[in-house]
Amino acid sequence: MLVTSGDPYVPGRGDASYEVRHYDLDLDYKVSSNRLSGRARLDVVATQHLTQLRIDLVGLRVSKVSTGRLTTRWTQRGGHVTVTLPRPLDPGETTSVTLTYAGNPGPARSVWGEVGWEELDDGVLVASQPTGAPTWFPCNDHPRSKATYRIAIECDSPYTVCVTGTLTGRYVRGSRTRHVFDEAHPMATYLAAVHVGQYDRAVLAEGPVRQVVVAPPRLHRQVLGDLQLQPRMMDLFVDLFGRYPFADYTVVVTPDELEIPLEAQGMATFGPNWLSGRGAHQRLIAHELAHQWFGNSLTVTSWADIWLNEGFACYAEWLWSEASGGPAADVLATQHRTRLAGLAQDFVLADPGPDTMFDDRVYKRGALTLHALRLHLGDESFWALLRAWVADHEHGSVSTAEFVAHAATVDPSGDAERLLEGWLRQPALPALPRPARR
């Protein structure tokens, strides 16, 4: 079997020789024993000639694999399940593979720390970026491979279950409750999330985008206080970026403190240390919301393009600051460029390397790149470019090269392309341009 690596930043994860079109997950979880049992059906399409499928799964054991109605030969080792297909597939041909599996899930070790399924004091959360998805379901773990999902999970009835997607069914069976969620918009594996906990729900806003808060009852007052401006952020970002790309937006607040907030599709997760009731982290609320456009709807083609997620979300922080009476984006850009100029300039933004991909310099230089482009083009052209970028690639995959080409259509002189080349492809930090006179 020819295995085509998914991404050089995460060797051994993902396989470019096939894509998954749809995941159907049927899960059973027992909180007290952290026991997960599952059955996963993957509807796949070959991108090259295939006799086997290599599927990512970490820390859980497979007991049965079938293709269609046929029991299929398989092996499991090193974080992969290798499935021998009953007949070869040519490019474009499809099949369905079903895996039955179980175990005690936990996070996977990575160069970025532990990622994936994580037990809390009383419940669980999933934080999968970038390689944690295989800790709870078999998958082709690469952001370029986006699929639709149906996720059913049965759990002890006293617990609230919150999963990416729209709740389409809830069935009480004695002391346990089955929840069914559907995600009709294509989603990368790392953006699929599960939360189980002693939570209550509250509606923050009914429209134009429904916004929901899921949090322990004792935390609701402080959390709702910190999130009271989120509906205004939503209005601002819809105006600047275009329509909100999903059915609704849910903020989950865990009882345990978290090192950082986390995005998932149509969802963000905060620890109570970030929403303490003092309003100290409004920029992070804006950051996670902006990821619904940049990262979740428009998902990177490769992890080298991470600035397209984090630089855009960081710039959204500055835009919210400007709109809400704080420092203007131009002031923040000047301050952060001065700070970055005093730090090591030893990476290239368009390919920072796996060890640096979540470095704060990537976030800030990414935001500065956008501000430099805005100064060069002028507001009218810049916002038209950004809205077109979002609309043209909604629910798709994007790359740095595509963004540069997109900018070139607005400025056919080549000046925008040359400006972006300096910010994206050269280690040295460029100067911010003077505002355009247009």
Residue of 288, 315, 317, 402 marked catalytic:
288
Q: Which residue ranges are tagged as binding site?
A: 287, 291, 310
Among 92, 98, 89, CA closest to 52: 89
Q: Which residue ranges are tagged as binding site for Zn(2+)?
A: 287, 291, 310
3-class DSSP assignment, residue 235: helix
Calpha distance 280→283 (Å, rounded) = 8
Helix locations, 100-229, DSSP H: 220-226
Residue of 149, 199, 244, 363 marked catalytic:
363
C-alpha of 219 from chain center: 25
- Cβ neighbourhood burial of 404 (10 Å; 0-12, 13-18, 19+): middle
Extract the tokens encoding 92. 């474009």
Interior CA angle at 240 toward 235 and 246, to 5°?
60
Between strands 210-215 and 248-253, the pairing is parallel
User: Does residue 119 carry a catalytic annotation?
Assistant: no
Cα 52 to Cα 17, 22, 80, 99, 172: the distances in Å are: 10, 18, 12, 14, 39
Map tokens 């040295």 to a residue. Answer: 428
The dihedral of CA 337, 338, 341, 347: what is its sign? negative
- CB neighbours of residue 318 within 10 Å: 25
Extract the tokens encoding 262. 């986390």
User: Does residue 244 carry a catalytic annotation?
Assistant: no
List active site positions.
288, 363
